[in-house]
Amino acid sequence: MLKKPIIIDTDPGIDDAVALAIALFSEKLDVRLITTVAGNVSIDKVTYNALRLLKHFGKSIPVAKGSAQPLLRPGIDASDVHGVSGMEGWDFDEPDYGLLLPEHAVNAMYRTLKESKEKITLVPIGPLTNIALLLRMYPDVKEHIAEIALMGGSLTRGNKGVMAEFNIAYDPEAAKIVFASGLPIAVAPLDVGLKALVLPEDSAKLKGMNHTGDMIHALFQKYRGGSMKTGLKMYDSCAMAYLLAPEMFEIVETFVDVEVQGALTAGCTAIDLRGYLKQAPNAKVCVDIDDVKFKEWFLKSLSVCI
């Protein structure tokens, strides 16, 4: 089977850790590079976490450290959700720093894209700062990108403000650049993440499933993305689900832009399902997910990890 080449841009993050496990052990994906971006916690912490995860998974994928702050605004973080380290709950081994590239994430992405024979899909599951910089610094990169399949935005309300989802709220200007890029974009917004739930009985199945299941089960005890009782939200896994099992989603092609000026709504994604803005579609948006199928897919995907 021909594997789909991808680059994952991430801010691990507990739900990022789960999404990385799914992607790295999928027989359908070829993860060429992992880039990090400040978001859930600082750039040093998320980079350390990405390296610690790779050591745990026994995978030798190059990692490049990226942006430490949003393009224009002061940074925010989500340590209230993921813990001070960004991945509280498991005693990881020290990572292999040999995997850390000397290049900045943006340069590593550019080089990897240019060197590849096939177009590569970018999978951002954190703020879009690195991706916006890539598109601005190297406009010729566009012809090497197959699609940008991202987790971010919301059809309705937010989780980091009344209207804004965290990844977009962190760096609205970067998100605006990405949505205006003209590239094929797929969006797994907050709304599908809210239905992609792990309940206590699901988490119990992870414990003892394999070494990765044990680790994720332990991280889930500290994760505050939802509650263990009513369901932990697997936001970032939805971007991988879009790539690996798109039939689980209802997908609508529509126009998406980002509010960067609103006094109360900065970082809100205007997902124009009713065509008010009279613009041509620029994104495929996952508007609904089959939660039962997601659950089956999720557990099956993690069962093949080591």
Task: Give the count of residues interacting with ligand BDR (CB under 6 A).
Answer: 16
* 107: number of Cβ within 10 Å: 17
**In whole angstroms, how close is the CB of 140 to ligand BDR at the nearest point?**
29
Q: How far is CA 54 from CA 84, 103, 184, 283, in A?
A: 20, 19, 29, 31
Q: Does 125 bind ligand BDR (CB under 6 A)?
A: yes
Q: Does 165 bind ligand BDR (CB under 6 A)?
A: yes
Helix 237-244 vs helix 14-24: crossing angle, to nearest 10: 20
Which residue, 35 or 167, is less far from ligand BDR as judged by CB? 167
Which residue, 190 or 245, is less far from Ca ion as judged by CB? 190
Q: How far is 235 from 158, CA to CA, in rounded Å? A: 13
Site for Ca ion in 12-41 (CB under 5 A): 13, 16
Please name the residues in contact with 283: beta carbons below 8 A apart, sequence gap of 6 or more.
Answer: 179, 185, 186, 187, 253, 254, 255, 256, 271
Stretch that binds Ca ion, among 153-161, 202-210, 231-239, 267-275 (CB under 5 A): 231-239
DSSP 129-168: HHHHHHHHH-GGGGGGEEEEEEE---SS--SSSSS--HHH
133-150 burial string, b = 16+ CB within 10 Å, else e?
A: bbbeebeebeebbbbbbb
Q: Which x/- pattern, by CB under 6 A, does the window 207-236 give for ligand BDR?
A: ----------------------------xx
Q: Does 77 bind Ca ion (CB under 5 A)?
A: no
Q: Does 297 bind ligand BDR (CB under 6 A)?
A: no
Stretch that binds ligand BDR, among 13-21, 56-64, 104-112, 267-275 (CB under 6 A): 13-21
Site of interaction with ligand BDR (CB under 6 A):
13, 15-16, 40, 78, 81, 125-126, 151, 159, 165-167, 190, 235-236
Site of interaction with Ca ion (CB under 5 A):
11, 13, 16, 125-126, 236
